């Protein structure tokens, strides 16, 4: 597929042409799948987990031999949602490989009923699943696993934002059930991905938890600067444009190599650079001003939703970019933040709703554009 702008900012994987590096991580993930190791894949949000999974699923080693399924359960709130989403993904993937497989799925998973329709806009066939009147989500889940296990090709199931299950009603019980089903699989391999490091750690690294030590961990860090620089300048060159190396390095440093934010900026810079022109530091400035304009209302509104104390803390953290000692006297006095306990009080809900991220050794505002915007405005 040829796209107009080579810097993709949706999380849907397009093709390897637009995918930078991740060679080592891809090889590891392929190795895990081919050697029947389940993976727990963790990174910050928007670093590239979904992209990596899409990339690995499209490699010949996997796509030629395995049936691959991917669900993002971020928006699900119950096991019912979960099984319908997984069921729908399986049906849709199988549909492209022939009616027979879908029929077999619906025979095996008798606790869901399907209705078929054509998407009104694209005309693509679409499948809607509903639980049958007498079924339970637990039963459907068992039947789905049974189906996967009976597939003639081995299956890989990737569950993105897996930590969400912990928030379901009866989350603990569901996780234990899932662990049992996963453990008994001989034909299906799993990738559990998640952005919430604290919750993923809780699920996979706590001895009392069902999934403890049951998966091979894979942590996704920033793409190396030299790899990303080659990627960006290559795409400019392929399109008859140029970009100064310094420009790429500046963006990389500004976002600590955080993938989506860099992609977003280069998507804009690519757009505003005409063929034959060279993008430079001024292009970054223009792109960022443009991005601030777009998000202005969103960011204003985000600040309206927090208390005065939280706002003061957000401004202080944004101005520092990263804060190592958030209750330290230096940080308190520089930003007039009163007391350490007041900071703790303001911080807790901001971490809870992921406005602030706690990294291994520091705190920062999760959304890097928001952070830059606050630092500039206040």
Ligand X SMILES: Nc1ncnc2c1ncn2[C@@H]1O[C@H](COP(=O)(O)OP(=O)(O)O)[C@@H](O)[C@H]1O
Residues that bind ligand X (CB under 6 A): 8-11, 19-22, 43, 45-51, 195, 223, 259-260, 263
Nearer to ligand X, 147 or 192 (CB): 192
Q: Give the count of beta carbons closer than 10 Å to the beta carbon of residue 295.
A: 15
CB of 313 to Mg ion, least distance (A): 28
CB of 227 to ligand X, least distance (A): 9
Per-residue CA distances from 186 to 2, 37, 66, 68, 212 (Å): 39, 11, 13, 15, 19
Q: Using the 8-state DSSP alphabet, how is residue 176 labeled?
A: H
Nearer to ligand X, 104 or 227 (CB): 227
Stretch of residues binding Mg ion (CB under 5 A), selected from 50-58, 176-184, 224-232, 344-352: 50-58
Q: Please tell me whether residue 72 adopts helix, strand or coil conformation.
A: strand
CB of 136 to ligand X, least distance (A): 31
Length of the chain as a residue count: 378
Q: Following DSSP, what letter does each residue of 275-344 receive, concatenated?
A: TT-EE-HHHHHHHHHHHHHHHHHHHHHHHHTS-HHHHHHHHHHHHHSSBS-TTSHHHHHHTT---HHHHH
CB of 47 to ligand X, least distance (A): 4
Task: Indicate whether 50 belongs to the interface with Mg ion (CB under 5 A).
Answer: yes
Residue 299 contact among ligand X, Mg ion, none, beta carbon within 5 to 8 Å by kind: none
Measured between alpha carbons, how far is 301 from 333 in angstroms, rounded to an integer? Answer: 28
Nearer to ligand X, 46 or 268 (CB): 46
Site for Mg ion, residues 262 to 301, rule: CB under 5 A: none
Measured between alpha carbons, how far is 29 from 18 in angstroms, rounded to an integer? Answer: 19
CB of 276 to Mg ion, least distance (A): 37
CB of 331 to ligand X, least distance (A): 29
Q: Please tell me whether residue 117 adopts helix, strand or coil conformation.
A: strand
- Using CB atoms, what's the residue nearest to Mg ion? 50
Q: Are 335 and 299 in contact (CB under 8 A)?
A: no
Residue 48 contact among ligand X, Mg ion, none, beta carbon within 5 to 8 Å by kind: ligand X
According to DSSP, the residues that pair with 219 across neighbouring strands are 42
Residue 82 contact among ligand X, Mg ion, none, beta carbon within 5 to 8 Å by kind: none
Stretch of residues binding Mg ion (CB under 5 A), selected from 159-167, 178-186, 245-253, 276-284: 159-167
Nearer to Mg ion, 47 or 332 (CB): 47
Q: Write out the two tokens for 129.
A: 């699943």
Measured between alpha carbons, how far is 262 from 252 in angstroms, rounded to an integer? Answer: 7
Task: Indicate whether 164 belongs to the interface with Mg ion (CB under 5 A).
Answer: no
Q: Which residues of 259-292 are buried (b: 16+ CB within 10 A; e: fewer)?
A: bbbbbbbbbbbbeebeeeeebbeebbeebbeebe
Nearer to ligand X, 195 or 273 (CB): 195
User: For strand 363-365 and strand 356-358, is the pairing parallel, antiparallel, or unpaired?
Assistant: antiparallel
Residue 9 contact among Mg ion, ligand X, none, beta carbon within 5 to 8 Å by kind: ligand X
Nearer to ligand X, 42 or 372 (CB): 42
Nearer to ligand X, 163 or 195 (CB): 195
Task: Indicate whether 39 belongs to the interface with Mg ion (CB under 5 A).
Answer: no
Closest-CA residue to 356 (of 337, 342, 370)? 370
Stretch of residues binding Mg ion (CB under 5 A), selected from 80-88, 94-102, 154-162, 217-225: 154-162
Q: Please tell me whether residue 123 adopts helix, strand or coil conformation.
A: coil
The helix-helix angle for 245-254 and 225-238 (nearest 10°) equals: 130
Residue 151 contact among Mg ion, ligand X, none, beta carbon within 5 to 8 Å by kind: none
Residue 83 contact among Mg ion, ligand X, none, beta carbon within 5 to 8 Å by kind: none
CB of 372 to Mg ion, least distance (A): 22
Q: Are 367 and 353 in contact (CB under 8 A)?
A: no
CB of 192 to ligand X, least distance (A): 13
CB of 180 to ligand X, least distance (A): 27
Residue 66 contact among Mg ion, ligand X, none, beta carbon within 5 to 8 Å by kind: none
Q: Write out the two tokens for 223.
A: 């793409």
Give the interface with Mg ion as residue ranges (CB under 5 A): 49-50, 160
């Amino acid at each position: 597929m040829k796209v107009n702008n080579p810097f993709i900012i949706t999380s849907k994987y397009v093709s390897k042409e637009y995918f930078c590096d991740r060679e080592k991580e891809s090889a590891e993930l392929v190795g895990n799948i081919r050697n029947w190791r389940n993976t727990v894949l963790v990174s910050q949000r928007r670093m590239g987990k979904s992209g990596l999974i899409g990339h690995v699923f499209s490699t010949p080693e996997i796509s030629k031999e395995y049936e691959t399924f991917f669900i993002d359960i971020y928006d699900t709130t119950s096991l019912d949602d979960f099984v319908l989403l997984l069921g729908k993904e399986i049906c849709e993937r199988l549909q492209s490989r022939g009616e027979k497989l879908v029929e077999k799925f619906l025979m095996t998973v008798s606790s869901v009923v399907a209705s078929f329709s054509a998407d009104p806009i694209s005309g693509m066939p679409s499948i809607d699943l509903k639980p049958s009147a007498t079924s339970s989500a637990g039963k459907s889940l068992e039947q789905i696993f049974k189906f996967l296990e009976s597939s003639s090709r081995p299956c890989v199931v990737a569950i993105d934002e897996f930590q969400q299950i912990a928030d379901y009603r009866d989350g603990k019980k569901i996780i234990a059930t899932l662990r049992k089903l996963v453990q008994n699989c001989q034909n299906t391999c799993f990738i559990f991905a998640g952005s919430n490091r604290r919750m993923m750690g809780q699920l996979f690294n706590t001895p009392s938890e069902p999934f403890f030590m049951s998966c091979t961990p894979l942590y996704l860090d920033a793409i190396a600067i030299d790899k990303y620089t080659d990627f960006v300048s290559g795409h400019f060159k392929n399109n008859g444009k140029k970009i100064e190396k310094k420009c790429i390095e500046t963006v990389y440093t500004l976002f600590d190599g955080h993938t989506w934010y860099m992609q977003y900026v280069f998507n804009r810079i690519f757009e505003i650079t005409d063929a034959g022109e060279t993008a430079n530091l001024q292009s970054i400035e223009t792109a960022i001003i443009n991005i601030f304009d777009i998000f202005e209302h969103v960011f204003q509104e985000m600040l309206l939703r927090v208390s005065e104390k939280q706002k003061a803390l957000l401004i202080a953290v944004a101005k520092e970019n990263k804060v190592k000692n958030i209750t330290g006297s230096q940080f308190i006095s520089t930003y007039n933040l009163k007391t350490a306990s007041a900071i703790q009080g303001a911080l807790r809900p901001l971490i809870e709703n992921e406005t602030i991220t706690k990294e291994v050794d520091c705190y920062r505002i999760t959304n890097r554009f928001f952070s830059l915007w606050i630092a500039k405005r206040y």
